[in-house]
Amino acid sequence: MRLGCGLPMGPLALLDLIGVDTARTVLEAMYAASRDRLHAPAPILGQLSEAGLTRCKAGRGFYTYQEPGSDVLVADAQTPRPPEAAVEPGGSRPVDAVGVAGSGTMASGIAEVFAASGFRVVLAARSLAKAERAVARISGSLARWVSKGRLSEEAREAAMARITVADSLEAFADVDLAVEAVAEDLAVKRRLFQTLDEVCKPGAVLATTTSSLPVISRARATSRPGDVIGMHFFNPAPATRLVEVVRTVLTSDATHASVRAVCAAIRKHPVDCGDRASFIVNALLFPYLNNAVKMVQEHYATPDDIDAAMKWGGGYPMGPFELLDVVGLDVSLAIEKVLHREFRDPGLAPAPLLEHLVAAGCLGQKTGRGFREHARG
């Protein structure tokens, strides 16, 4: 949540700061007023409270601290290891060439990340024209890094020289890692993975950048589900440090170790998560966004006041309505529907106001109007 959403601290660290017992009391009051299951405190909060493991002031909450009142973390069996220590020793496969399937913003951003990190990249789109437009986008992005003094002109030229384009996945025959970055449509993704299964060499890692759909559906579309894994990059891929590494029940140890090693090579921070709808960030973020829409829908507060409250009070870099307009209301609605379908919790049902705006074509910045008016470039 720090690297994916820009928060000053993650939710568990914040709970340790304010107190697990305090948070539980607040949630109990919210649930008593709303009867919304999303407000019901998780059982673990009660268990930690009963055990006296309530906050950093006590020396132990969700994390262990050097001493009561300290904010210095101590590694132990319950405290997660640093990411570099979490890569399995040995067993990973060497990755030199990477194939990126897609031509949109995310695909070009991922291709840029790999090329700038020294990997040979094959970018395949439905046509050479689409692939070349994606490469032009990469060139422009790298040029901006040069203008800011964060990249040399020589490094930009070297990165561009590492990228080749193709209009067919057949070009992935020799890649060590194939990354799918196409539309968030399960049928489309399954067909693409069937093709990757046919064209990619044995042992190649097949990764999906899906943001909300379970990865196992892609794995089962192939004859080698152990080679399939999720690598959820965040937009814009060149600037954001987080990658959610999504391991299915069939993903092999070697595939997992390879992706962790690749993340280190491209200077991204990997977090492991289970294969369930929306993974970590979106599973936490989008119910929050949906609740903000419900507040406006019920005339509880205005979008401007809610955005100001969450930026100044919650430390978010953007308020929920600013973020919704950037992400796209259609994309947000689709993720909300996936969450609701997966967990079947009434509290996760998309707010009717969000559905109405999408039906009206008010999708955010890309259409010039969402929760606010926007200039269209």
Residue 112 falls in the annotated catalytic set? no
Is the preceding omega at residue 8 within 30 degrees of 0, hence cis?
no
Residue 28 falls in the annotated catalytic set? no
Of 49, 232, 290, 332, which residue is the catalytic one? 232
Computed from CA positions of residues 259, 261, 265, 271, in that sequence, does the dihedral angle turn out positive or negative? positive
Using alpha carbons only, how large is the chain's radius of gyration in Å? Answer: 22
Gap between the Cα atoms of 267 and 253, Å rounded: 21
Residue 258 falls in the annotated catalytic set? no
Gap between the Cα atoms of 4 and 55, Å rounded: 24
Phi, psi of 275 (to 5 degrees): -90, 80
Of 92, 112, 217, 244, which residue is the catalytic one? 244
Residue 374 falls in the annotated catalytic set? no
CB-CB contact of 232 with 210 (8 Å): yes
What value, to the nearest 5°, has the Cα angle with vertex 291 and ends 40 and 283? 70
Of 49, 92, 108, 211, which residue is the catalytic one? 211
CB-CB contact of 224 with 255 (8 Å): no
Of 92, 252, 282, 332, which residue is the catalytic one? 282
What are the beta bridge partners of residue 179? Answer: 100, 207
Active site residues: 211, 232, 244, 282
